[in-house]
Amino acid sequence: MASTYLELAFEKSIQEKERQLSALESQISESPEARDAIRALRTTIQHELRELYEHLSPSDVVKVARHSARPQTLDYIELVFDEFVELHGDRAFGDDRAMVTGFAKLDDQKVLVVGQHKGRTIKEREERFFGCAHPEGYRKALEKMKLAAKFRLPIICLIDTPGAYPGIGAEERGQASSIAVNLRELSLLRTPMVCVVIGEGGSGGALGIGVGDHVAMLQFSYYSVISPEGCAGILWKTRDSRNVDQAARALKFTSADLLRMGIVDEVIPEPLGGAHRDHRQMANTLKQSMQRALRKLSIVPTETLLSRRYQKFRKIGAYEELAIESAASAGAGKAADSSAKNNGANSR
């Protein structure tokens, strides 16, 4: 468990207790006192973890979502699916390693799996572009999704990216255009689509494979138009931690915020202490969620499915127009009162 503390500084209060627990468990002792001490320490650790993770700040949620030990797309493919066969290439430029696509089985259900994979070692992260896909990655995903739709196979998209690749080459090859085409084409695919944000859901890079009939998020993932660091850099011209924290709170990108605003359909609970602490438990929970979603979507007629999907994204989000109108009316009233007072003073 030591690796979980390298990036999550807010867990330091628990680190020493887990070391003590490991030391106690390593001692060969069957005495009642030793068993009672181990049991009490486990209870304390679970209580502290529960308290900590129930009150995470948005900035801390981002740290959990980015944790290097957090399960990624290929981890879920191994733990959740069977008979995975990877498909490569976009038939135009090349094979983007940041985007993983392939046919698989979810128990007895044949599906197409699409997802971004970041990698863990420095070498793998460089090969995978840190999960940031190029235009050929989005074309690759679309080509395979169209193939799945042709054979009436459901599509499962696992979203985990800080955003589309920002390099010059990606822009020269039409990054914005490829994402825009995906948004249009995915809204028209005649097959059920389930999208799950498993870590980071950043900007158009996430939305490029995120137009689905059922959109879910893991509990400690985030889904946003921009990262908190990017937002702070634009608004305050700095990435000072205070500004980053302020931006994270203002963006309202946590799973609880987005469920309340109707942007996602489901929040999938994570194991105590986050998905990075128990890959198998998280994979089992994710599998059950995807199976429930596919069962519900499988009985919906195709035309109804397409209509719902289109309307879902046309009406996405929550707005406070009445509050804005009230504020505007109040402001106009104050301005009128001030003008009347000024006119009265001038007449005198």
- Coil vs helix vs strand at 27: coil
- Residue 162 and residue 202 in contact, taking contact as beta carbons nearer than 8 Å: yes
Residue 339 predicted with pLDDT over 60: no
pLDDT band at 1 (very low <50, low <70, confident <90, very high): very low
Mean pLDDT of 257-282: 94
- Output the average pLDDT for the chain: 87
Helix (H, G, I), strand (E, B) or coil at 276: helix
Q: How confident is residue 17, by pLDDT bands cut at 50, 70 and 90? A: confident
Q: Six-digit token pair at 16?
A: 């020493």
The pLDDT value given to residue 3: 47
Alpha helices per DSSP H over 66-202: 73-80, 122-127, 135-150, 168-172, 175-186
| pLDDT tens readout for residues 189-228 | 999 999 999 999 988 999 999 999 999 999 999 999 998 9
Question: Which position has the token pair 């709170």?
Answer: 249
The pLDDT, as a whole number, for residue 196 is 98
Q: Is 29 helix (H, G, I), strand (E, B) or coil?
A: coil
Percent of the chain whose predicted confidence (pLDDT) is above 90 = 70
Buried b (16+ CB within 10 A) or exposed e, 331-343: eeeeeeeeeeeee
Query: Which structure tokens are listed for 18?
Result: 């887990």
In this predicted structure, what is the pLDDT of residue 51?
A: 86
Least reliable range by pLDDT among 6-15, 182-191, 204-213: 6-15
What pLDDT score does 61 carry?
94
The pTM of the full predicted model, rounded to 2 decimals, is: 0.85
Highest mean pLDDT range out of 18-27, 206-215, 333-342? 206-215
User: What is each CA distance from 233 to 65, 184, 238, 254, in whole angstroms?
Assistant: 20, 31, 5, 20
pLDDT of 314 higher than 70: yes
Give the confidence band of 74 by pLDDT, cuts at 50, 70, 90: very high
Mean pLDDT of 10-36: 71
pLDDT digits (tens, 9 = 90+) for 232-262: 999 998 778 889 999 999 999 999 999 999 9
Spatial contact of 185 and 236, defined as CB atoms under 8 Å apart: no
Q: Which residue has the higher pLDDT, 102 or 334?
A: 102
Q: For residue 12, is pLDDT > 60?
A: yes
